[in-house]
């Protein structure tokens, strides 16, 4: 039988913060960790999102930072109107410091090529 090791919320947060804070991290490793987070039944804490955005900046991948914010918004699910504004409020200083725009600021939250309904 294998031992089941339980990780506390604080240990989980610190594990991802430390991973994203590595100086030698590359784009593939950032994507791997983001993919792992997207596959979990949770919305990442703002401090994890901050660390991920800083990692994106270190590898100079603006698109990855914006796509990660899209994934975070999607993870909010039915509570997006409650959770996502809180997350943006908490990470706003980091967004401003790094010069990263949100998908909403870029207009990515609206379909670009959507046709007007013929019934309107």
Rounded CA-CA distance 15/83 in Å is: 23
Instruction: Tell whether 119 is covered by a domain.
Output: no
| Structural domain includes residue 24 | yes
Contact 68, 34 (CB under 8 A): yes
Q: What is the pLDDT of residue 2?
A: 62
pLDDT (mean) for 34-54: 95
Burial class of 56 by CB neighbour count within 10 A (0 to 12, 13 to 18, 19+): buried
pLDDT in tens, 79-101: 999 999 999 999 999 999 999 99
3 pLDDT band, cuts 50/70/90, is: confident
Are 79 and 43 in contact, with CB atoms under 8 Å apart?
A: no
Which domain CATH number covers 30? 1.25.40.40
Domain that holds residue 86: 9-106
Residue 111 included in any domain? no
Angle at 33 between CA 11 and CA 94, to 5 degrees: 80
What's the total number of domains in the chain?
Answer: 1
User: At residue 1, does pLDDT exceed 60?
Assistant: no
Mean pLDDT computed over 26-32: 95
């Amino acid at each position: 039988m294998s031992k089941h090791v339980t990780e506390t919320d604080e240990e989980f947060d610190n594990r991802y913060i430390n991973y994203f804070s590595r100086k030698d991290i590359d784009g593939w490793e950032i994507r791997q960790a983001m993919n792992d987070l997207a596959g979990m039944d949770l919305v990442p804490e703002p401090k994890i999102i901050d660390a991920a955005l800083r990692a994106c900046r270190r590898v100079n991948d603006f698109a990855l930072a914006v796509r990660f914010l899209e994934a975070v918004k999607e993870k909010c699910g039915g509570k997006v109107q409650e959770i996502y504004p809180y997350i943006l409020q908490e990470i706003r200083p980091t967004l401003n410091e790094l010069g990263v725009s949100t998908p909403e600021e870029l207009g990515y939250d609206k379909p670009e090529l959507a046709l007007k309904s013929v019934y309107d």
